[in-house]
Structures are given as structure tokens and as C-alpha cells.
Structure 1
């Protein structure tokens, strides 16, 4: 009797939901609810309960708890025709939803929905929770719903026919497709960037974007629909599981993007703490209490939103410009996350738009993060270019300093040379005066004595120059070997110390200075020998730097000296023209011929495939100049070698077989004679050195 009285009160107290033919979707805006803390009430008991509370609003959040929530409302059909209507619950995250259709005290039908139900067994293939509302032959019926879930129990539902349900589902599927397309494009694009630049931040962004898709798809039930329709274990855990993995990925991405280790190293412990919380939530969700894990997950998302926001402003204040776009993107995400958390905890009323806040914020976030990555790349490239510019500026300053020092040294050498030449001129003048003043007998005795006294020490100097040059060359070869081996075997610290010492003592310039000093000693010795010879012949000392020389004699004497090196294997063609005597430094010109012809001999003898090695030397007159050509039919030189043959220390020979200074010296000698040196060569067709010299160095001599 009490049960019947309760039903009468329920019928009188609650207005039914009217279902009209061809009516649009009808929201369930008035219902009653009952909390079942022990999950112990049966449907038969619930029908007779009189402690339901009325709730007159479309959407209500029953919180995060272990209780079951019973809902009931009455539906009334305004047509006696069979109408196939459906009750659709908008919250796809409910674990269980039990549907009972009753008429009075009699339960007419029972259906079950939620994440625990196999997707293939649903009445309508949709990610929503849908029940068939069969009112055939009835005008009124009572609907009882029992909902149970480990996350927030937000109830929002509507009644509609199949066409209207499909329309709403198709609209949502289109939005989900747009969401998926945007994320897929960003994933592919940033994956290519990672492959191209090997920057860890791009792969972290890609992983985060993938997890964003899984997390939001789980909230809307698309992972159950598309990936694991029958996997109940995953379906009830996917929201927290993928949400926590997303939290881990975004934390690691923020750490890498914001360069926390560099700009905020003390805050790294906070990053580690947040990652630890999310890892705990994942493990708790898998092995222990899903409900407690969900509460901790919401708390961790809130902490993450505020903490990373704080870090972004911290590193931006320290001058890290890429943090600008990151803060904008994170602001969008943080606002969406905080609103979502507030709704889940019941702090903010739930609305039909609320369900889209977090996915929309996540979509804007990944798009803005993509802009932030592009801005970061641009800023880093600008900083790198500025750094390279500063390095080049310092190098140019060092180069200018070296040039100034070289010019100063050259000026000092020039001054010293002028002093030596002046001293030599005084000695020659003194000798001439002595010859003119003394008689032949006394002059002969005097010159013989001078020749004897000078000859012995100068012979000692002359004989020691070649061994000295050879010994120094050996030492330089050892030093060069140490340098090469050091680059391969010494530690980076040792290499830096060696490089620093070389720069301090100007090692490369010392090498050039040694060669110049040896040549100066050799030239001085030869000049002194010439003076001794002049004394012996009782000639007037009239030695000058520049004298008229028969170029053919110099070429012939050079060929005689190199005859043994040819070993009779090279044919020599001399095509001498009718040329006059040329003003030049004879010894220097002989050195030119010696170096070029020696290189030609080596090129011919080092390649056994040449059938008839031939060396051709031509001379001809070109107005006020002469032309000398030294040509061989050797292997020639490729273009990259040709461009560098006159560089000091450049050589194609093995270590110990050449210094790379020969052709550099030749080029300098010709240049000092106001002449030109050109090489005509190509790989496989020989080499031809073409020298042009002016006949007169200053003013023409009259014979």
C-alpha cells in the first residue's frame, strides 16, 4: 500500500516529458535522482522508493565518488502510433549506465550501456550511450537510469528519433575528423623536421601530439569505437591513462623547448616531481584505484598548468625569446585545462559547450606550439648567424693585426737590407781605391792574402749551408709529422694547448722566416765568393744586384746539373729563339729554372705510363720582353691543383718529398723581376709554364 502511495506521489509530483510527432530532439530537462552509496538497490526496490529528489535542470554533475546514481523521469507520447525513439546520454565517459522502462510497478524492458559494453552490441553504432525508448501501445511510461563511473558523473541527455540522432552524430564525427586531420598534419610535418634537423624537441612534440589525439579521442569514446571496441579493461582506463601520458609528454616537451636546464636549472626538480606524479597515476590506474588516480590526475593537470606557465615567464625574463609563443600556446591550454578541472570537480556548472573546451584548447595548443617551434628555429638560426658574424669579425681583426705586424717586419728587414747594401758598397769602393792606388805587385800580394783569409771562412759557411738547410728540413718534417699525428692521437686539451702555442709564436711565419734567412745566408755567401773571385782576378769590384745575363747559359747550366736526375729517360728539346741579354738576378733566375725543370722531371719519371717522356724549352722575343716556355708531356694537373700550386707549403708529393715552397719561390722571383708566370695545364695533357721577363729592369744599358 505504501509502494502504491509512493507511485501516486511520483505521478502527481513530476511533469512528464511530452514526445510529439516530428518533434526535434527533446532535452531531458526535469528528473529526479537518488544516491545509492552502497550500490545495493534493485530496480524493484527503486520503483517503490519515495526519497527521490527533484532536479529541474538539463545538466547536472553528481561528482567523483563510488556511489551509484538513480535517475527517473516520465515520458508521455502524444501519438498512439508506433514511434521509435531513443534516449541518448551525451557523456561518453560513463563506465556503466543501466536503463529500465517501467509502467507502474512493472519493468517492461532493460538495456545496458557505457564503456563496459562491447561496442558491437550497442543498439546504435555510436560513441554515445543510447537506449531505445519503445512506447508502442502506451501513452506514458517511467524511465529509470542507474549510472556508475570512476570519473565525474555528469548527466546530460535528450530524446530523439534515429534520423535526429544520426544527424547529431555525423556533425560530431565531422568535427572529430577536422580535429584528427589537423593533428595528423602537424605530426607528419614535425616528424619530417625531426628527421631533417635531429632536434629532440620535434620528436617530443610529435609524441605529445599523438598522445593528445588518444586522450581526447578517449574522452569522446572514439578509441572504443575505432581501436578496441571489445576491450573493457582499456575502455574504462583510457581517459586517465592517456591523459597522464599526455601530461608526461607535455612536461618533457616544455623542459626541452624552454631549455630549463640552462635558464632555470633549479626548477628541474619541479619537472621531475610532476613527471613522477603522472607516472604514479598511470601505475595506480593500471593496478589499483581508478577513482583515486582520477582525482590525482586532475590535481596534477592543475599543478602542471600553473608551474609550466611560471617557468615560461621565468625563462622569458632571462632573455629566452622562443618562450613568447610558448607562453601564448600554454595560456590557451592552461585556461582550457583549468576550466575542465573546475567542471569535473563541480566548481563550474556544466554546459553543452563545456565538453568541447578541452579538445578545442588542445587543438589550439598544438597549432600554437607549432608556431612556437618555427619561431624558436628562426631565433636560434639568427643567434647562430650572429655568433658566426662575431667570430668572423674577430678573425678579421686578427688578420689585420698579422698584416700590420708583417708590414712592420718587412719594413725592418728592408731597413737592414739597405744598411747591408750600403756597407757592401763602401767595401767595394774601398777595394777599388786600393787597386787604383797600389802598384800591381803590392796589390797582387794584398789581394792574394785577402782572398786566402776570406776564402777559408766563406768556404766553411758555404759548405755548411746545405747541411743546415737539410737538417732544418728534417726537423720541420718531424714537426709536421707531430702536427698531423697530434690531430689524430692527442687529446682535445693537448691539441688546444699546441694550437695556442703555435699562434703565440707565429709558427707559420717562423717557417717562412727560416727559409728566408737560409736564402739570405746562401746569397750572402755566394756574393762573398764572387768578391773573392774578383780579388783573385785583380778585377775591379763592380758587383751589383742586377746584371745582364744570357738566359740560354742559365738554362743550359741548369740542364747540365739535372742531367743525372733525368737518367737518360727524358728527351729534351731546346727551341731557343734570338733573344738579347736580360737584366736580372742570375742566381735567382737559375733557381727559377731549377725548380720548374725539377718538377717536370718528377712528373715525367713518376708516371711510367708515359711512352716517350719529353721536356721542351722555348725562348722568344716579345717586343721589350722575352718569353720562356718550359713544357712537359706529363700527366698534367686537375683544376683544383692548378689553382693552388703557387700557394706556400702546398704540395701533392708524399710527406718528406717536398716542402711546397718551390713554385711559391719561383712566383715571387718572377714577380720581383716585374715579369709574369702563367701555367697552362689540364689533367692528362701535360703542363706548360710560361714566363715573361722585361729586358731592362730600370733604364736600358748601352753596350
Structure 2
């Protein structure tokens, strides 16, 4: 479809470029190659009959480095036109000198003579008005294939003025600059070297067209004869080198077919050789021009082929390459047809490559943009696939994590159970050793104190009885003395009583006996408490009065309890409870001792520090509540109070085993221990114990 479209476009272009009539010239003749004519004066002596004659206003002088002399005679009918202009519309002619019939120089044109003083030299225009003659002589010298189209223009004919040509080239260069800086920005942003190749290609295309139009010769190297003569050919070689390599990379030719890729590299090597032949002059003369022209014809078809090949392989951006190279081939065909004088030379045919390069540059840019879109879609597709893979991986990871977490949880539970067993074993060992030592100590103390205190307590009553007897005798003597003693004896007895303060002594003796009785009774209670508390050697469950255990614990803690702390006993009716008395007493000791410490540490900030001991019987269970109105505990401390070796006391003031031992004892008695606490609202330890530990609940 595309090739038929471009064939149709080419047909229209050819049809629109019909040859102009040659009636403007009566005679066009030129010297043959090798005629050694040096000056215009020598050429003036050559008659018309010695010249080669052309019947058309186009000379194809072939490949030659020599100078050609041309004589033209304008038709007599052109005299009436003013501002007559001779145009040689081939911008590749190097040297053109125009003389009148007398040999006077009218104009120098061509690439060598281009300067900024007269821009008409850019387009080989020479005014022939007011010359007084219709015969003109020209010296023409160039490189490569020397083609000379002659045209005459006047005010009455339509032709492009210099300003109009400058406008066209200005639009062209504006498009190239826009594409150059846009892709330069993309190159800097994306760091993709393909953009670097493309802007290099745009640069050399613009350079070539600027040389073709003569603007580079005027503004860039106006003083360099070498670049004026060979700049176009050098830039053309560079354009092809960069363009071919850019196309090979862009079209992924190496990926699709390495052989086709290496053919492209060979063409690049040939162009490098052609470039070197222009720069270093290998002495091959016109051969380098022929090589350049041949490969200028081969390269577009090669690029057209690799574009079609990549497109057949499913590479969509190759479509823009295919269209751009098709346009380039069309422009090349038009240029060759004009070069062969099948269609006439004019502005369009001379600068057809300029128009073709604009469309080529735009289409290649579209191809690059399309590639970006494809890469973007591919990236999006890859990202979507990656997201799917990541989701699957995440799912697998979650599943594995779940399995691992379950295994870790099981293993952690096992380890925690082992740790608890070890801690319980350790605490039991410590507790047993501690309680064994404490039991031995308290039992020994109780035994040692018991004998003397029994002696004291048993002798108090006889002592009181004896003193009472003595008091009766004293009272008898005092009563009898008032009746039987003489007055002097009574005064002496009275004086002795006053000296001895008998009334005070009798009162003091009574108080001392009472104090001794109270002290002995208290000592007996303490010894009883020690004996009750020290029953650690009792390994059998017995029926115990819980209240006795609580009272004995309070008695033992009296010495360490601040006097401001009140102990409130709220005892209910309790039956005897089956338990290990020593163990239960240890529970009471640890919990009440902790309550005493909590209150003692904040004794100044608590208005009425108190410990409440409350007991109740509920069915087949009893409850013991030990309540203090101390500072309470925060939640994170409450969660850990039963852990072995956890303590909030200062170093050296607590082992962290007390409540752990308490928990173990209550658990072994098939009871429960509940802690109710809140910061600044006190703490309650609620112990629940079954009344019976054995299956036989009713004993005689």
C-alpha cells in the first residue's frame, strides 16, 4: 500500500515538473573537456563553429576537474524585458564567472565565491540588464558530475526571490533546531544514547542542507576554500555514517539478523573511506565522487530494506522508518531525473533533498516517540507482571510466615514451658532450702525461749499469791499499830512508811506484777506463733485454722510494721481447712510483707495506711482477701509479678521469688490467686482455697 502511494506521489511530482521551453536562448555552446583555454580573451577568439552546441538550456558536462567555457546567446525577443536575471540553479557548482560579449566581468558566482556581501551568489543569480549585448561568456568549474541548467527570469515571470528562499530555509532550520533541542532535552533526561545518536544525525543533516544552500559557507567558514569545495561531500558522508548506525541500532537489526547488521557496518566502513579520501586526498580524483554518488543511491534502498525487515518481524516503530526512507528515495529519484535532464532543473528539483530531509527528520522523531510509547507500554506490562509475581511471592511469603510462625509458636511454647519448669524447680529448691533453714531457726528459737518463759509464766502466779499474803500481813500490822503501838512507835512507823514510800512501793509492785504477767503472756503468744509458722516439716495435709495462721503472721511482722499502719481483721466464720499449714503461712507472710513494704514506702503520702484481712466461706471454698490502700501497680507490672526473679524493689531488697512461690503454693493446693490493682487505688490479693484437699470430706 505504501509503495503504491509513493509511486503515485512521484508521478504527480514528475508531472508537475514539465520542461520549460528553450526559446529564451538562440545559442548555447561550450568547449570540450581538455580544451586548454585560460582566459576569457582566448575564449572570445573561438568561433561558434568550434564549440559543442546544445539544443536545450541544460548542459551535462560529465565528471571533470577542468574548467569549461560556455557561450550563450539570448533570443532577440528578450530585449524588451528589464531586470533580466540569469540563473544557474545548481548549488553544487564551485566556480562560475559571467562575462559580457567584450570580456568584461559581470558576476562571480558559485560556492567558492560565496560571501556575505551579495546573497545572490547563494543561488547563482546574475543580472544581465543594461549590458547592451545578447551574448555572454561563462567559465564554469566544479567537482563531480558537472551539470549546468540555464534559466532566464524577469519581473514579468514568477520565480522565488532571495527573501522567499531565505524564508523557506529559515522554516527548515527552525524545524531542525526544534527537533534538535527537544531530543537533546530527552537525552539529558533519560540518559538513553539513542537520543544522542539521533541529535547527531539531526546536526549533520542540518549542516549538509546549510552547506547545500550556501549559508554555512557564508556564516561559518567564509574564508576556507577547502571547506567550501569539499564541505558538502564531507558532511554527506558523516550524515550517512551516523544515519546508518542510528538505523541499525534503532531497528534492532543485530537482534533480528546479524548478517544484515554486518552489511550495514561494511557500508559504514566504505563511507569512512570516502570521508578520508576527501580529507586526506588519496589521489583517486573523481573516483571518490563516483563512490559517493553510487552509495548515495544504495544506502536508501538498504535502509528501506532493513526497515521493511524489522516491520515484518513485528517491530512497529519501523513503519515510520519505512515511510521516511520511502520519501527519501522519492526525492532521490526526482533529483536523479533532474540530473539526467529528464525533468528540468528548478528550485524544487535542486532542493528536493531539503524537503525530503524535513519529512525524514520528523518521521524519525515520530519513530523515536513511538518507541518510547512502546517501551512505556512494555515497562507497564513488565511492572504489571512484576506486581503479579510480587503478589504471588508475597502470598508464598505470608504462607511460609504463617507456617514458620506456627512452628515458632509451638517451639516457643515448649521453651516457655521448659523455662517455667526450670524456674519453678529453681524457686522450689530455693524455697525448700529457705523454709527448711527458717523452720529450723524458728523451731530452735521457739524451743529455747519456751523453757525460760514457761518458768517465768508458771512462777508469776505463785509470786502474786505470795505478795498478796505479804500485803495482808502489812495491812494487819498497820491496823493493829493504831490500837496497840505507843504514840512514839506509831510516829516511828509512820516516818518509816513515808521514808520507804510504802504506798508507792505497793502500787509499783502491783504494776510490775501486772506488766510481768502481760509480758509473759505476749511472749507465750509469740512462741506459739513461731511454732505455728515453723511447721514446714509437716508434709501431710491437716485441718488448719486459717485465722491462727493470719494472726501468727501479723505477730511476727509487728516488729517491722510502722505504727501508723492499722491492721483490720474482718474474719468470717470459717471451717477448718485441709492444707499444708507451713506453706499457707508462707503465702500469708509474703503477701502481707509486700503490703507492709508498699505502705511503708509511701507512709507520708497516705492519710490512713491500713491492711484489711477479710475471710469468707463460700460453699466448699473459702476466700482470703489481703487488701492495702497503697500506691497499687501499673498494668505492665501486674502482668509480670508472678514471674520468678521479677522484682520492682531496689537491688539487695528483694529476690523476685516471693510471689512466684506464693503462686506455686496456691496452685498446688488447687486454689486460685487473683490480683486486683490499679495505680493510686491500692491492691487486693484474693486467695480461693478448697476446704477439702482429699476425697474423704467427712471425718469423725
Pick the TM interval, shorter chain.
0.5 to 0.7
Q: TM-score, normalised by structure 1?
A: 0.55
Which of 372, 382, 393 in structure 2 is aligned with 1:377? 372
Distance in structure 2 (CA, Å) of the matches to 1:534 and 1:262: 83
The residue aligned with 1:34 is 30
Secondary structure at 2:239 match in 1: helix
Distance in structure 2 (CA, Å) of the matches to 1:263 and 1:589: 75
Distance 1:188 1:98, change over 3 A: same
**Shift of residue 152, structure 1, vs aligned partner:** 3.0
Per-residue Cα deviation, 1:255-300 (whole angstroms, up to 9, x for no partner): 3322334343343322321221111111112232563222211222
The residue aligned with 2:260 is 267
**Shift of residue 324, structure 1, vs aligned partner:** 3.2
Asked if the contact 1:63/1:346 (under 8 Å) is kept, the reply is: no
The residue aligned with 2:94 is 95
The residue aligned with 1:571 is none
Secondary structure at 2:172 match in 1: helix
Distance 1:380 1:216, change over 3 A: same
1:360 aligns with 2:359: no
Distance in structure 1 (CA, Å) of the matches to 2:296 and 2:70: 31
The residue aligned with 1:254 is 247
The residue aligned with 2:323 is 328
Secondary structure at 1:353 match in 2: helix
Secondary structure at 1:228 match in 2: coil
Distance 1:38 1:80, change over 3 A: closer
Which of 200, 221, 225 in structure 2 is aligned with 1:232? 225
**Shift of residue 43, structure 1, vs aligned partner:** 0.9
Distance 1:70 1:191, change over 3 A: same
Alignment of 1:381-396 (within 5 A): 381-396=376-391
Distance in structure 2 (CA, Å) of the matches to 1:366 and 1:128: 25
Asked if the contact 1:89/1:155 (under 8 Å) is kept, the reply is: yes
**Shift of residue 60, structure 1, vs aligned partner:** 5.1
Alignment of 1:530-569 (within 5 A): none
Decide which moves more: 164-173 or 236-245: 164-173
**Shift of residue 64, structure 1, vs aligned partner:** 3.5
Secondary structure at 1:92 match in 2: coil
Asked if the contact 2:24/2:75 (under 8 Å) is kept, the reply is: no
Distance in structure 2 (CA, Å) of the matches to 1:581 and 1:204: 69
Secondary structure at 1:206 match in 2: helix
Which of 391, 396, 399 in structure 1 is aligned with 2:394? 399
Aligned residue pair count: 453
Distance in structure 2 (CA, Å) of the matches to 1:311 and 1:131: 45
Distance in structure 2 (CA, Å) of the matches to 1:352 and 1:362: 15
Alignment of 1:193-212 (within 5 A): 193-212=186-205
Asked if the contact 1:62/1:152 (under 8 Å) is kept, the reply is: yes
Secondary structure at 2:350 match in 1: helix
Per-residue Cα deviation, 1:623-643 (whole angstroms, up to 9, x for no partner): x998789xxxxxxxxxxxxxx
Distance in structure 2 (CA, Å) of the matches to 1:356 and 1:228: 22
Distance in structure 1 (CA, Å) of the matches to 2:59 and 2:594: 115
Decide which moves more: 393-402 or 180-189: 393-402
Alignment of 1:399-548 (within 5 A): 399-409=394-404, 519=416, 521-529=418-426
Per-residue Cα deviation, 1:592-651 (whole angstroms, up to 9, x for no partner): 999xxxxxxxxxxxxxxxxxxxxxxxxxxxxx998789xxxxxxxxxxxxxxxxxxxxxx
Distance in structure 2 (CA, Å) of the matches to 1:525 and 1:160: 117
Per-residue Cα deviation, 1:561-602 (whole angstroms, up to 9, x for no partner): xxxxxxxxxxxxxx94578999957567998999xxxxxxxx
1:74 aligns with 2:67: no
The residue aligned with 1:172 is 165
1:187 aligns with 2:180: yes
The residue aligned with 2:109 is 113
1:53 aligns with 2:53: yes
The residue aligned with 1:303 is 298
**Shift of residue 86, structure 1, vs aligned partner:** 3.2
Asked if the contact 2:111/2:122 (under 8 Å) is kept, the reply is: no
The residue aligned with 2:308 is 313
The residue aligned with 2:442 is none
Q: Which runs of 5+ in 2 are unaligned?
A: 1-20, 434-535, 542-578, 581-589, 602-629, 650-674, 690-700
Per-residue Cα deviation, 1:412-465 (whole angstroms, up to 9, x for no partner): 677xx6xxxxxxxxxxxxxxxxxxxxxxxxxxxxxxxxxxxxxxxxxxxxxxxx
Per-residue Cα deviation, 1:77-98 (whole angstroms, up to 9, x for no partner): 6698995543222212101223
Distance 1:592 1:66, change over 3 A: farther
Distance in structure 2 (CA, Å) of the matches to 1:593 and 1:325: 82
Distance in structure 2 (CA, Å) of the matches to 1:580 and 1:165: 103
Distance in structure 2 (CA, Å) of the matches to 1:580 and 1:200: 65
Alignment of 1:617-632 (within 5 A): none
Distance 1:126 1:258, change over 3 A: same
Asked if the contact 2:631/2:679 (under 8 Å) is kept, the reply is: no
Distance 1:40 1:626, change over 3 A: farther
Distance in structure 2 (CA, Å) of the matches to 1:236 and 1:318: 43
Q: Return the index of the structure with the highest Cα Rg.
A: 2
Distance 1:145 1:393, change over 3 A: same
Distance in structure 1 (CA, Å) of the matches to 2:173 and 2:379: 36
Distance in structure 2 (CA, Å) of the matches to 1:45 and 1:160: 29
Distance in structure 2 (CA, Å) of the matches to 1:625 and 1:113: 114
Distance in structure 2 (CA, Å) of the matches to 1:261 and 1:363: 28
Distance in structure 2 (CA, Å) of the matches to 1:553 and 1:39: 133
Distance in structure 2 (CA, Å) of the matches to 1:171 and 1:588: 100
Asked if the contact 1:29/1:59 (under 8 Å) is kept, the reply is: no
Distance in structure 1 (CA, Å) of the matches to 2:171 and 2:636: 92
Per-residue Cα deviation, 1:88-130 (whole angstroms, up to 9, x for no partner): 222121012232322xxx54556432222252575x6440223
1:128 aligns with 2:147: no
